[in-house]
A = this chain, B = another copy of it.
Amino acid sequence: MNIEAIATIVTPFSEKFAIPRQAQIVNQAIGTLQFSPAYQHPEYLNGLSAHSHYWLIWGFHQHEGKTKSQTVRPPRLGGNTAVGVFATRSPFRPNNLGLSVVKLQHIDKKRLTLKFSGVDMLSGSPVYDIKPYIPYADCCTSATSTWANDVPTPDFSVLFLPKVLRTLQAYDADQGTQLLALLQALLAYDARPAYKKTQATDTKRYATRLYTVDVAWRINGKTVTVIDAAVG
């Protein structure tokens, strides 16, 4: 079946590294959904405010056309145990479909855009459907999982070098973003591959791009220190 993007979502995440592992973990991650030209009709916005949360069915578009394996090794299982891809939320899956529940923050009737918080997709990801979260049907309180039951707890305290703090504050003031708050929430979780997490000392410089800022940090014990932020 051919499906077409009804929208594209612009998020702070311009590369895969350090994207939250599920939606809603980092509420400070805000995405702006822009309807595709064929869907730019104000009628599509009617009634959206009736629901607080929405499901987005979207695409892992950078994985399109790539060969996939029948099994994957989830980080939650330490990265060593292979399980069938349908037993996981791995992004490496047939049909490349992602599913995330996000919170509706703003409906811009003039620009025909929607703002959602708690996003976990790469910026520019195609969106194939938007469905309201139906509390009685979707909040399945009897559901259990042997290895994905608990909310991930933050691993680290996050510190910023003074010059980095100044750069981020200036960027937020200028761009209307909340990059400082986003980094504080995002880097509290350990985004490293499983083998790195068990290393006694880790001297690696980690880096990713958020919005238009190249951010770098180091990990020491239970502390993450953001050592660089270069706007460009």
User: Contact residues of A with B, CB < 8 Å?
Assistant: 1-6, 22-25, 39, 41, 43-48, 50-55, 57, 59, 61, 64, 70-71, 82-89, 93-97, 99, 101, 126, 128-152
Contacts and interface: CB of A to CB of B under 8 A. Distances in A.
B87 A4 contact: no
Given A88-B132, A97-B129, 13 more contacts: A1-B96, A4-B94, A46-B84, A48-B84, A50-B87, A51-B143, A57-B99, A86-B131, A86-B132, A88-B131, A101-B137, A135-B145, A135-B148
A134 to B, nearest CB: 5
Contact of A131 (B5, B50, B89, B133): B89
A41 B85 CA distance: 12
Considering the complex of A and B, which 3 residue pairs feature the smallest CB-CB distances, nearest first?
A: A47-B83, A47-B87, A43-B70
Contact of A87 (B51, B85, B87, B142): B51
28 contacts: A1-B59, A3-B97, A22-B134, A45-B84, A46-B83, A47-B84, A47-B88, A48-B87, A50-B83, A50-B145, A51-B143, A51-B144, A51-B145, A51-B146, A52-B144, A89-B134, A99-B129, A101-B138, A101-B143, A132-B145, A133-B143, A135-B145, A135-B148, A135-B149, A136-B149, A136-B151, A137-B148, A139-B143
B147 A1 contact: no
A75 to B, nearest CB: 13
Nearest to A148: B134
Nearest to A46: B84
A134 B138 CA distance: 11
B39 A131 contact: no
B137 A139 contact: no
Nearest to A101: B140
A4 to B, nearest CB: 7
A24 B137 contact: yes
